[in-house]
Amino acid sequence: MIRSATMSEEVAGVQVFVDGTGRRKRLLAVVGFFVALFAALYIGVVGASVVQAADAGLTTKASLSTTATATATASASSSTTSS
């Protein structure tokens, strides 16, 4: 209400951002295409890694080898006997 009272009718009808050539539209379409392509590739990589991780058979428990246990036991017993 206040805006229409302060602006004249002549100024209100003029469009400020007019792109008659269509360059801005083309530029945004090309940038949008590349953003969408990058997003699709990123989703594909994340999806492939999730599928691959499911096949990897990840374990949640640590496993000890018998040689490491025997070495640790031998070093522990030698340190107690040398005292």
In order of 26, 40, 61, the CA distances from 57 in angstroms are 48, 27, 12
> Residue 53: its pLDDT value, please?
76
Model confidence pTM above 0.75: no
Hey, where are the domains in the chain?
Answer: 20-54
DSSP 17: S
Tokens standing for residue 51: 């599928």
> Residue 19: its pLDDT value, please?
82
Average pLDDT, the chain: 76
Q: Tokens 């602006």 map to which residue?
A: 7
